[in-house]
Amino acid sequence: MAQAVPDRLRTVAILGHSHDGKTTLGEALAYCGGTIPRLGSADQGTTLFDFEPEEQRRHISVSLAIAGVAWRDHRITLLDTPGFQDLEGEVLAALAVADGAVLCVGAGAGGALPVGAHTAWALLAERRLPRLVVLTKLDKEHSDFAATLAGLRRAFSPRPVAVQLPIGAEQAFTGVVDLVTQRALQFDERGGASEADPPAALDAEVARLRQELIEAVAETDDGLLERYLEGVEPTPAELARALRTATRAAAVVPVFATAPVRALGAVAVLDAIVEDLPPPAAGDPARPASCFVFKTTADPFGKISYFKVLDGTLRPEVHLVNSRTGQDERLVRPGRPRGKGLDPADALVAGEIGAATKLAHTATGDVLGPREGQASVPALTFPATSFTMAIRPRAKGDEEKISAGLTHLCEEDPTLRVERHPVTHETLLHGLGDVHLDVTLEKLKRKYQVDAVLQLPQVPYQETIRGRARQQHRYKKQSGGAGLYGDCTIEIEPLPRGTGFEWEDRIFGGSIPQQFRPSVEKGVRQTLEQGVLAGYPLVDVRVRLVDGSTHPVDGKDIAFQLAGAMAMREAVDKAGALLLEPVMDVEVVVPEAVMGDVIGHLNSRRGRIGGMTPVGEGLERVTAQVPLAEMYRFPIELRAMTQGRGRYTMAFSHYEEVPAQVAQPIIEHRRELLHAREAQTA
């Protein structure tokens, strides 16, 4: 088609539960719109949208994929999102630029809605995004349109309302009745449809559902409602206009019947996207160009930045300024995304989705535009990481490669975070779940040739002391000629949790010369770092240097360091060492029906429940304090207990003493590891 105008653009996110047919619907829409010559298969990994090897192997979408469809002189951009909870960041990126949405729901028996449908609906409702519901898999065994529609109406508000009634069921699903026009659409083998009279056997059901449709739309239109109450039924054209207005206002949600694996019903969905979903709230194509980057992909050869044009008309070789960095970026050949490729574009107007390569200084969430008067957009926010594993290369010597690869992957995926823990010295990979991190490992190996392994992180335990102690230690060594001599006396006492370490020089006179007193402190600090009980850092202790002696010839810096270190170890033994563990503030939101199970689980993990608060929609918020050691597997356990509907956040609270029965095995295991390391280096 010719250059688009904003009114004829539609950017539509496709959401839903995993395996409910999102990618298959996108494939059917692309096929019916002529973007692709034949239907691909999600199961066989041949679709336009699932092109990453990880997606083809797992048979699920793991990344946001984008492709355009030309339909009735409009340009539709489809944003196919993953349905798995661990990959929610990709969904949020799509919703940041979508003008409308399609929620896919598998028409399974019984009408029970999967958790992904609830999650997607909540995201759409939060943004008041206009949407369609597309029931998929109506040609499958045990499909049930009526039960699924009833489930939608029970679960969601505004209540979804049918605009189509299927003709036939399962393998006999051959068409639909359009409830607006009251005409039947009989499907052909290529996904098209021909108009016909509705089957007489469906007259009663058509009348009932059409009545529900009219009532739902009339509630949003005072004029239509007044005439309806007077007994005047709207014409198909009046009903269609009112439906369009109500849908664009997110006051009504139309429901469609499809079997996208055969492209059945896809044409009606394309028509509805054009008619009932809104154009972008875009700027003036005549203004200076600006764009918002909502997604980045990276590999060793470069990166692709995906953006929405906010204002103006974007042409090749344009120079734009990054509002965050102030640096100039040159967009050499911006194009339109088409699956894994880019179609060249002479111009991209306000409201369009585009992509550009080699934007060296631009990251996801950045705005590019003129140096003055740039458009502002809401911050692109992503969920906090909730699952952590330690990561290391399988082969020694790959540490630099794994670091570089993870840096690129974090640039590509803002829901990933990498840190080097200062206590355990492990590299920690934070994400949204086990599947998320597994996919990250697969990408790391494919894109950056680094084979890595994940393991449970070490808990950053600490040590401290119970009481006070005074200890003297004299280090003396004579082996002919000059010797070593250092003698110090220290006092130690505990400090409040979180205070750290305090050093006091209480020597009066010259029992230890001034130049050797820092050496004693250095030896004490070495013991603090190495620990005494189990090799963990020693914290929250005050050390006073109170006495000592020296030798005029053999007094040496190293001797006083060793004396300080040994005096500290002996003093800690006297004062009584104990093990501390990090305790986390945990907040869990779960369905009320499983709240008791979750509370019991937290209690069994040494958690202390703080409170329970209803948060609406049948959900409860549970607050607790739980040791970090008990939380590493909690995300997987929570998903199993709540069928994926539970969410949690966690933040560090404080350190506290590990109970004796828990501490002893930890200390013994740690000592065994330390002895093994010493033996390897001996």
Closest to 572 in 3D by CA, of 537, 538, 523, 521:
538
Q: Which distant-in-sequence residues (6+ apart) come within 8 Å of 206 by Cβ? A: 165, 177, 179, 182, 198
For 130, the 3-state DSSP assignment is coil
Banded pLDDT at 583 (limits 50, 70, 90): very high
pLDDT at 4: 75
Give bridge partners of residue 545 from the DSSP assignment: 490, 505
**Mean pLDDT across 257-269:** 97
d(CA 510, CA 593): 72
For 490, the 3-state DSSP assignment is strand
**Which CATH code for domain 6-276?**
3.40.50.300
Residue 158 CA to its chain's centroid (Å) = 27
* Other Cβ atoms closer than 10 A to 151: 20
| Residue 479: exposure state from Cβ atoms within 10 A (0-12, 13-18, ≥19) | exposed
Dihedral in degrees, nearest 10, Cα atoms 607, 608, 614, 617: 0
Instruction: Name the token pair of 630.
Output: 């008990």
Handedness of CA 526, 529, 533, 539 (dihedral sign): positive
pLDDT digits (tens, 9 = 90+) for 214-233: 999 999 999 999 998 998 99
Choose between 244 and 384: higher pLDDT: 244
Residue 676 CA to its chain's centroid (Å) = 39
DSSP 416-477: -EEEE-TTT--EEEEESSHHHHHHHHHHHHHHH---EEEEPPPP--EEEESS-EEEEEEEEE
Instruction: Name the token pair of 224.
Output: 């239509």
Q: Which distant-in-sequence residues (6+ apart) come within 8 Å of 422 by Cβ? A: none
Does the pLDDT at position 2 exceed 60? no
Banded pLDDT at 514 (limits 50, 70, 90): very high
For 168, the 3-state DSSP assignment is coil
d(CA 623, CA 643): 20
d(CA 342, CA 407): 25
The residue written with tokens 């404080």 in the block is 654
**Which CATH code for domain 290-369?**
2.40.30.10
Banded pLDDT at 118 (limits 50, 70, 90): very high
Query: How many Å is the Cα radius of gyration of the chain?
Result: 33
Instruction: Name the token pair of 292.
Output: 């918002």
Banded pLDDT at 302 (limits 50, 70, 90): confident
467-471: long-range contacts, CB 8 A cutoff, minimum separation 24: 467/493, 467/494, 467/575, 467/576, 468/492, 468/493, 468/494, 468/575, 469/571, 469/572, 469/574, 469/575, 470/546, 470/571, 470/574, 471/567, 471/568, 471/570, 471/571, 471/574
For 557, the 3-state DSSP assignment is helix
Banded pLDDT at 1 (limits 50, 70, 90): low
Dihedral in degrees, nearest 10, Cα atoms 90, 96, 97, 103: 60
d(CA 343, CA 501): 62
Q: Give the Å distances, CA to CA, from 131 to 59, 124, 451.
A: 26, 8, 42
pLDDT at 682: 62
d(CA 420, CA 437): 17
Share of the chain above pLDDT 70, in %: 99
**Mean pLDDT across 243-268:** 97
What mean pLDDT, rounded, does the chain reach? 94
Does the pLDDT at position 454 exceed 90? yes
Does the pLDDT at position 110 exceed 80? no
pLDDT digits (tens, 9 = 90+) for 462-473: 999 999 999 999
**Which CATH code for domain 579-661?**
3.30.70.240
Does the pLDDT at position 153 exceed 80? yes
For 337, the 3-state DSSP assignment is strand
463-575 CATH, one of 3.30.230.10, 3.40.950.10, 2.70.98.50, 3.40.50.970: 3.30.230.10
Q: Tell me if the domain spanning 387-455 has CATH number 3.40.50.720.
A: no
463-575 shares the fold of 387-455: no
Choose between 679 and 370: higher pLDDT: 370
d(CA 183, CA 199): 10
pLDDT digits (tens, 9 = 90+) for 388-442: 999 999 998 899 999 999 999 999 999 999 999 988 899 999 999 999 999 999 9
Share of the chain above pLDDT 90, in %: 86
Q: Which distant-in-sequence residues (6+ apart) come within 8 Å of 57 by Cβ? A: 45, 442
Domain locations in the chain?
6-276, 290-369, 387-455, 463-575, 579-661
**Mean pLDDT across 541-570:** 95
pLDDT digits (tens, 9 = 90+) for 283-296: 888 899 999 999 99
The residue written with tokens 């029965």 in the block is 661
Does the pLDDT at position 657 exceed 80? yes
Q: Which distant-in-sequence residues (6+ apart) come within 8 Å of 62 by Cβ? A: 52, 54, 55, 82, 84, 87, 90, 439
Instruction: Name the token pair of 533.
Output: 């009980």
Choose between 165 and 510: higher pLDDT: 165
Angle at CA 24, nearest 5°, toward 42 and 26? 125
d(CA 109, CA 141): 9
pLDDT at 507: 92
d(CA 43, CA 19): 10
Total length of the chain: 682
DSSP letter for 385, please. Answer: P
* Other Cβ atoms closer than 10 A to 681: 5
pLDDT digits (tens, 9 = 90+) for 372-387: 876 778 788 999 898 9
